[in-house]
Amino acid sequence: MARRGVSGARRGGAWPSAAVPQRRCGWGAGAAMSEPGAAGPSPAAIQVSRIMRPDDANIAGNVHGGTILKMIEEAGAIISTRHCNSQAGEPCVAALARVERTDFLSPMCIGEVANVSAEITYTSRHSVEVQVNVMSENILTGAKKVTNKATLWYVPLSLKNVNKVVEVPPIQYARKEQEDEGKKRYEEQKLDRLETKQRNGDVILPVINPDRQTKEPHTVGYSQSSLIHLVGPSDCTLLGFVHGGVTMKLMDEVAGIVAARHCKTNIVTASVDAINFHEKIKKGCVITVSGRMTFTSNKSMEIEVFVDADPFVDEPRERYRAVSAFFTYVSLSKEGKPLPVPQLLTETEDEKRRFEEGKGRYLQTKAKRQAQMQQSAQQ
């Protein structure tokens, strides 16, 4: 049985759109690790570094958005798991529950070093908020630039009982306002997760050997794509469930295929809306990652991605929706300049409805960005 099946070629990359002592760590080949003096039992911030290699990037040399998302999640998992085990209690592993909207501010290329810093900014009784910044470094010139900023939410699961969420040790805030702002973010993401769950009845039927010669280009059906992946031990945490970063990388691959089929050009990830992890995916599951185009503006396209899991091993049950998100891509010329995106042709009432919903999200994001720019200009 093939471990993964994909219809199409992946072309995507990534593109723009209380002081505490740091304890540094690294992972994987090429990761930098340092220990600048004694660290406390619950580090408030960490930094990891890794050089970008050819297998991290697309054919144009831009690092895949999924590769960056995976590094972001790994840093978040390290710091949140460390914190949740910093006091006496049940051993646990932090599981990713949600990633807030993430913008790719600047491209990262092969040969550059990704410096990923993570800091815990809020804790509730059963969750941890982690803020992550990614900076690319040209080790030949020393030039550095911020490429990503992300907010992740984790919940600690007991090593003895994977269905038990253990209590999170509280953190100390420099000011009362920081705790109040964190609590507000916590309530907002909790409400959004509930709303997203209610929309999860939708399905994307897999495309089996589609005859694209008979389909009209730039329609939803023409670019729709699916990927099938057998979850193995290397994909999983100590608890035997899939790492959130692994799932996000697969989702970015499928979204990239959809975008490339639609544009027939080099495409890169511009942003990812909130990614909600609704249920755990266990080792031995077969997951289907499906993507479809929902909206296009003049220079961007929105792709909806679902992850459905079929648990065949140990405990057979019905297929279920595990993860969902919206990815935004842009089309680039050989010189790396943005290109116009072909207009999406909607054929059914559902496609027209999803297009209007996507247009609403696009206009809302555009208005927020303009407001932020005006606010920055006034400061």
Q: Residue 82 and residue 87: Cα distance in Å, rounded?
A: 10
Helix (H) or strand (E) holding 32: strand 31-32
In terms of Cα–Cα distance, which of 324, 327, 326, 247 is closest to 285? 247
Per the CB < 8 A criterion, the answer to whether 308 and 252 are in contact is no
Q: Residue 8 and residue 291: Cα distance in Å, rounded?
A: 12
Q: Residue 77 and residue 71: Cα distance in Å, rounded?
A: 10
**Which amino acid is located at 299 in the chain?**
K
In terms of Cα–Cα distance, which of 44, 78, 176, 183 is closest to 127? 183
Lookup: tokens for 346? 């909607």
Per the CB < 8 A criterion, the answer to whether 293 and 302 are in contact is yes
Q: Residue 320 forms beta bridges with which residues?
A: 309
- 350 included as an active-site residue: no
Query: Collapsing DSSP states into helix, strand and coil, what is residue 370?
Result: helix
* Active-site entry in 56, 58, 235, 266: 58
Q: Residue 116 and residue 134: Cα distance in Å, rounded?
A: 5
Q: Residue 169 and residue 192: Cα distance in Å, rounded?
A: 25
Q: How would you classify residue 37: left for phi > 0, otherwise alpha for psi between -120 and 50, otherwise beta?
A: left
Residue 265: C-alpha distances to residues 60, 304, 365 (Å): 11, 20, 25
- 58 included as an active-site residue: yes
Lookup: tokens for 37? 């003096």
* Active-site entry in 56, 103, 252, 308: 252
**Local structure of residue 155 (DSSP, 8 states):** E
Report the catalytic residues.
Answer: 58, 252
